[in-house]
Amino acid sequence: MKVGYVALIGRPNAGKSTLLNKILGEKVAIISDKPQTTRTSILGIKTTEKGQIIFLDNPGIHKPLHGLNKRMMNFVFSSLQTSDLICLLIDTTLRFGHGDQFVLDTLKDIKAPVILLINKVDIIKKDKILPLIEKYNELFNFKEIIPISALKGTNVDILEEKIYENLPEAEKMYPDDEVSIQSQKFLLSEIIREKVLHHVRQELPFVTATFIDEIEDRPKDKDGRAVKYILARIFVEKDNQRKIIIGRHGSLIKTIGTEARKEIEHILDAKVYLDLQVRVKDRWRDSPNVLDLIENQ
Ligand code: GDP
Ligand code: MG
């Protein structure tokens, strides 16, 4: 059996979480077009007859300014250190810049082989890809370079093959049917945050945290369907941010609640009453207590 850890890394928005979900065929990480959507290392397991690939989806590599961001970057560095193989994703639609150089610099002392994934090839002209490959080849000694579309699944099969080629022989670490190890509470809180991210702009994505307070079984409905009550909190840092998330006459929080409830009902296969409370928690991004609470739900 080929078994090992594979770190997905790259700048914010490169498509790391999209790729993870595509490979697993299941949503374990939330996606958005805002930077810094992924805040911790998210583990996703793919088991096939060849072996087991344990992916670590990571926050995007950036220069940290807050306690939260320092933690995010620590997740990146520790997953670089513990992985057998690294997949670096880049967004083909963007030009090479300081941020990309910063990412390559973080890889300098890493011993594991690195595969470069040139992502989003579904939205770029083919003749743009080759110069990019040449550029990256000059800058770093990649084990492989593969153009992919995480969204469409293009070349994801080839990627899987190349990953197996670079993993050590070992025993499986997780049961065959295990896809992730994050708690259900964590996933549900992330889904709520994803819906918030879709509707807010500017600083709001960065200052929003979500937390599931309780999940309570209620008596089955008259059709015999399971019913659950979920109390969730949305943290922001200032009262004007709270007002934005609530919206005029509560219109935005209602939309967010409806979208999140539908997806949660699907996951839990139950009718769900979702109670969302928006709370102001000044500077929570620098509060170890709040950060611990969110990380460990
Ligand atoms: P992450 O920050 O690296 O985890 O990036 P996400 O997976 O959250 O994706 C960021 C944005 O890029 C989202 O809007 C995705 O839909 C989009 N995206 C990711 N992969 C692709 C791709 O292969 N093609 C296109 N067109 N968009 C993509
Ligand atoms: Mg992500």
- Give the pLDDT mean for 58-86: 95
Give 12 Cα–ligand 1 centroid separation in angstroms: 9
pLDDT the model gives residue 294? 87
93 lines ligand 1 (CB under 6 A): no
122's tokens = 């579904």
- Give the pLDDT mean for 6-33: 97
**Cα 87 from Cα 83, distance rounded (Å):** 10
The number of CA neighbours under 13 Å toward the Cβ of 176 is: 5
Res. 297: pLDDT tops 90: no
**Cα 248 from Cα 59, distance rounded (Å):** 32
Are 44 and 182 contacting, i.e. CB atoms less than 8 angstroms apart? no
pLDDT the model gives residue 230? 98
**Cα 240 from Cα 245, distance rounded (Å):** 9
Q: If pLDDT is split at 50, 70 and 90, which confidence band does 99 have?
A: very high
State the distance between the two ends of the chain, measured CA to CA, in whole angstroms.
33
- pTM, full prediction: 0.96
Percentage of residues in the chain having pLDDT higher than 90:
95
From 20, 31, 121, the mutation candidate for ligand 1 (largest count of ligand atoms within 8 A of CB) is: 31
Give 20 Cα–ligand 2 centroid separation in angstroms: 9
Q: If pLDDT is split at 50, 70 and 90, which confidence band does 210 have?
A: very high
From 8, 9, 13, the mutation candidate for ligand 1 (largest count of ligand atoms within 8 A of CB) is: 13
Q: What is the DSSP string of 209-245?
A: EEEEEEEEEE---TTS--EEEEEEEEEESSHHHHHHH
Q: If pLDDT is split at 50, 70 and 90, which confidence band does 168 have?
A: very high
Percentage of residues in the chain having pLDDT higher than 70:
100
Give 26 Cα–ligand 1 centroid separation in angstroms: 16
pLDDT tens per residue across span 244-266: 999 999 999 999 999 999 999 99
pLDDT the model gives residue 149? 98
Residue 192 burial (C-beta neighbours within 10 Å; 0-12, 13-18, 19+): buried
90 SS3 class: strand
The number of CA neighbours under 13 Å toward the Cβ of 112 is: 26
Are 90 and 135 contacting, i.e. CB atoms less than 8 angstroms apart? no
pLDDT the model gives residue 105? 94
Angle (CA) 268 271 277, round 5°: 90
97 SS3 class: coil
12 lines ligand 1 (CB under 6 A): yes
38 lines ligand 1 (CB under 6 A): yes
**Cα 68 from Cα 295, distance rounded (Å):** 10
At 13, the amino acid letter reads: N
Closest C-alpha to ligand 1, atom 10 = 13
pLDDT tens per residue across span 108-134: 989 999 999 999 999 999 898 999 999
44 lines ligand 1 (CB under 6 A): no
- Give the pLDDT mean for 195-209: 96
**Cα 167 from Cα 110, distance rounded (Å):** 16
In ligand 1, the atom with minimum distance to the C-alpha of 149 is 23
Are 257 and 264 contacting, i.e. CB atoms less than 8 angstroms apart? no
4 lines ligand 1 (CB under 6 A): no
**Cα 151 from Cα 19, distance rounded (Å):** 7
**Cα 51 from Cα 293, distance rounded (Å):** 34
Q: Which residue has the tokens 């850890």?
A: 5
